[in-house]
Amino acid sequence: MAGAGLNAVVEPDTTPVAVRSLCEFAARSGDLDHGFTPSPSADEGREGHREVTRRRPEHYLAELPLTGVCEGLALRGRADGYDPVQKRLEEIKTHRGDLSRLGAGKRALHLAQLRVYGALLCRAENLSGIELTLVYYDVSTGSETPITAQEDAESLWLYLSVLCRKYRHWAEAERAHRVARDRALTTLRFPFAGFRHGQRSLSESVYKTLMTGGTLLLQAPTGSGKTVGTLFPALLTLPRRSLDRLFYLTVRITGRQLALNGLQQIIESQSTPVPLRVLELSAREQACEYPDRACHGESCPLARGFFDNLDAARAELTQQQGVLDRNRLRQVALEHRLCPYYLTQEMARWADVVIGDVNHQFDQQASLHALTVQNDWRVALLIDEAHNLIDRARGMYSAELSQQRLLALKKTVPAALKTAFESLARRWRSLISETGANKNWQKPATVTVPLQSVPRSLDGALQGLISRITDYLAEQAVDARLQNLLFEAMAFLQLAQQFGEHSVCELSYRGPGTAVLAIHNLIPADFLRRRFEAGQATVLFSATLNPPDYQRHLLGLPGNSRWHELESPFQAAQLCVRIVPGISTRLRDRDKSLAPTVNRILSQFQHRPGNYLVYLSSFAYLDALYDAFQRVGTGVPTTRQRPGMNTEQRQAFIDSFNEAGQQVGFAVLGGAFAEGIDLPGSRLTGVFVLTLGLPPHDSRHEQLRERLQQRFGMGYEYAYLYPGCQKVIQAAGRLIRTPDDSGIIELIDDRFARGQVRRLLPRWWPQVALVAGKVAG
């Protein structure tokens, strides 16, 4: 029936554009409206659409593809549903709660999409008119609110033409930019006189992967020039593979800055200008100017008239080539009275290279992934510090509900919210009784009850609470405590609907009013797989990705993902590695390990004075060893990591390791000082690592081990051994940062002597020496 729409001849000199993108560009006006109208999750939205279509007659056509050409634009999209008998075209939008809270701007955007689809369908099927219906489906109640209008084909096409003319001049400028960008990138030159040791091999491996498609796991040690070594070949492939975007994703702000610096070096080193738009994406909390205001025009001055002011700011920024970092974006945003965060989100549509956190591609609200799917972009992914992605992704797809937070708020909430809070409090008490958590509890212990599935007995009360808080916050000043509770409830419900063997659910209880209901993700692969599949090619790189199957399995990478381990630029002669098997650092032996470990540190310090870092598995172990070291009274200067250090305190800790210094520092494996910091030359003389860094053998990690054993047959290795050894190697890697560095590493624990562990150590390390108690040479 829609054959004309599907098979319409597309004129060769046209610019493709998605219907939604056209409307978001040309049909929005007025205020930004991201007030407290919590949208359904993606899964809730899909299920809502399915439910509405299930209610329609058999001849109803769901997900109707529509294409057409208007004003030089090749439009494409999918209308939600069409009844060919009634000549009724429907656009289905899911929502939660009172529909009147949906802002006028969003309603206008929804209607614009429907009218564009109506214009395309009338032209494709030669219809003189059509009935257009916006169907608002409430996921909380299952009710539909239809808004219907009869429109003639001529009016609809005229409306579409107006939108397309508004977009066309922009599309033409974008096409010209793309031609100029690709021409410049075709002749891009490496920014330095030559490659570092091993950097050419790194770049060639990245280039081949991006040119042929697929996935590469690249293990490249510190000092190999990973940042420029991956960015340079990736830029070369943009024109050669007709790629639309390059996403460079990191887990740390410092990683983003390195990428920005690297791109700046590449751009500025060329003999002719490179028209490349580079955008830094920031988190909301880093970019928001008014964190105490709601994101709509009645509350925030930078949301007021946002879409009316957007055109001028967007035009200004797209005329600027080079790096648009957070500071530059903020400056332009404030000049045009725009929210910096949402201006940055808008500019992601027009950037060639986007540098941001991995969350922007992989979490449940991932903006980059959503734009890729919506616009059918061809993108390449570069993922730095990829060894962190497993744990980060587990956090993205985990959530918990706190009874304690609810009860604390219940004491002070306004009368309008009392009933909702009391209803949820009652359901909490029932759930605790049903699980028996309170029956087996004895103070001060914590009882943890594993659950086979997520209890749904809280759903109704949670939905009611979300609705009431949303109504309240829509009319009142922002209350951070209520807002956090709202987000907590929404996140939990969203994950509860996606619960499967990739996750576990448990109820923990340590006394009346303290229960926590948690969903813990164990295998993020089931969520991440589709995100990787949306890209044309992916390169994941880090100094610690070994063994590759661990990454492939837990991240959901293709089975044919390539593995390349780069030769180290460092020499074995720069390093002395010793294993001390005579000291056990197991939990039961920790007290006995303190004195001999202190002796080893002091002996090494006296043998070669300098700066040393001692890494331990927990703050409790750190404090015990630090106190034991202090009691010896040697006068050796010391410093230690403390929980919750702020930015200034962390920097002071790092700065204390200066070239003229002589001290012993104590830090935690996997913490802020165990990776991502550089202490070259005499700023660091040696590293001591106590324990394998294995996660605790608690109930959760045992659940993880069992689940990974069932899925992959590698329970102990994937749950304990590999994550622990990665932390050890990352910490030890703080020592040798340049070809001129030298020093010693001591691995203190008998388990380091096992072949299974030694095979995971970096291959460039020298022959490891097993020592007893005395410093050798």
Secondary structure in 3-state letters for 326-393: HHHHHHHHHHCCCCHHHHHHHHCCCCCEEEEECHHHHCCCCHHHHHHHHHCCCEEEEECCHHHHHHHH
User: Quick check: 525 and 495 in contact, CB under 8 A?
Assistant: no
User: Quick check: 581 and 753 in contact, CB under 8 A?
Assistant: yes
**Geometric angle at alpha carbon 131, from 125 and 133, rounded to 5°:** 120
CA–CA dist 169, 157 (Å, integer): 19
Element (H, E) at 240: helix 226-240
Query: Torsion angle of alpha carbons 495, 497, 501, 504, nearest 10°?
Result: 50
CA terminus-to-terminus distance, the chain:
84
Q: Which residues make beta-bridge pairs with 541?
A: 218
Peptide bond into 233 cis (omega under 30): no
Candidates 237, 115, 150, 185; CA nearest to 539 is: 237
DSSP string, 420-464: HHHHHHHHHHHHHHHHTTTTT--TT--EEEEESS---TTHHHHHH
- Show the low-confidence residues of the chain (pLDDT under 70): 1-12, 35-39, 41, 477, 633, 772-777
CA–CA dist 275, 185 (Å, integer): 9
| Other beta carbons less than 10 A from residue 644's beta carbon | 5
Q: Which residues lie closer than 8 Å to 193 by C-beta, 6 or more apart?
A: none
CA–CA dist 210, 78 (Å, integer): 30
User: Quick check: 166 and 70 in contact, CB under 8 A?
Assistant: no
Element (H, E) at 531: helix 525-533
> Residue 569 is which amino acid?
P
**What's the residue count for the chain?**
777
Residue reference for tokens 């005329």: 319
Element (H, E) at 309: helix 306-318
Candidates 715, 680, 713; CA nearest to 695 is: 715
Q: Which residues lie closer than 8 Å to 529 by C-beta, 6 or more apart?
A: 556
> Residue 732 is which amino acid?
A
> Residue 546 is which amino acid?
N
**Geometric angle at alpha carbon 695, from 689 and 696, rounded to 5°:** 115
Q: Quote the pLDDT of residue 143.
A: 92
DSSP string, 594-629: HHHHHHHHHHHHHHS-SEEEEEESSHHHHHHHHHHH
> Residue 620 is which amino acid?
A
Candidates 129, 108, 118, 110; CA nearest to 68 is: 118
Q: Quote the pLDDT of residue 448.
A: 86
Query: 319 — phi, psi (to 5°)?
Result: -80, -15
Structure tokens at 630: 């202090």
CA–CA dist 752, 758 (Å, integer): 6
Q: Which residues lie closer than 8 Å to 253 by C-beta, 6 or more apart?
A: none
Q: Which residues lie closer than 8 Å to 171 by C-beta, 6 or more apart?
A: 15, 17, 72, 73
> 777: exposed, middle or buried (C-beta count within 10 Å: 0-12, 13-18, 19+)?
exposed
Q: Which residues lie closer than 8 Å to 663 by C-beta, 6 or more apart?
A: 611, 612, 636, 637, 638, 639, 656, 657
Structure tokens at 695: 């996660």
Candidates 17, 19, 33; CA nearest to 307 is: 33
User: Quick check: 507 and 448 in contact, CB under 8 A?
Assistant: yes
Q: Which residues make beta-bridge pairs with 70?
A: 73
Peptide bond into 38 cis (omega under 30): no
**Geometric angle at alpha carbon 570, from 232 and 746, rounded to 5°:** 130
By three-state DSSP, how is residue 667 classified? strand
| Other beta carbons less than 10 A from residue 18's beta carbon | 18
Q: Which residues lie closer than 8 Å to 673 by C-beta, 6 or more apart?
A: 613, 641, 650, 653, 654, 665, 667, 734
Q: Which residues lie closer than 8 Å to 125 by C-beta, 6 or more apart?
A: 1, 2, 4, 5
Q: Quote the pLDDT of residue 8.
A: 40
Structure tokens at 39: 């949208």
Mind listing the pLDDT tens digit for each residue in 346-405? 999 999 999 999 999 999 889 999 999 989 999 999 999 999 999 999 999 999 999 999
**Geometric angle at alpha carbon 166, from 165 and 169, rounded to 5°:** 80
DSSP string, 724-764: HHHHHHHHHTTS--STT--EEEEEESGGGGSHHHHTTS-TT
Query: Torsion angle of alpha carbons 756, 760, 765, 768, nearest 10°?
Result: -20
User: Quick check: 378 and 385 in contact, CB under 8 A?
Assistant: no
Structure tokens at 558: 């293709």
CA–CA dist 759, 547 (Å, integer): 10
Per residue, the 3-state secondary structure of 88-103, as one string, reads EEEEEEEECCCHHHCC
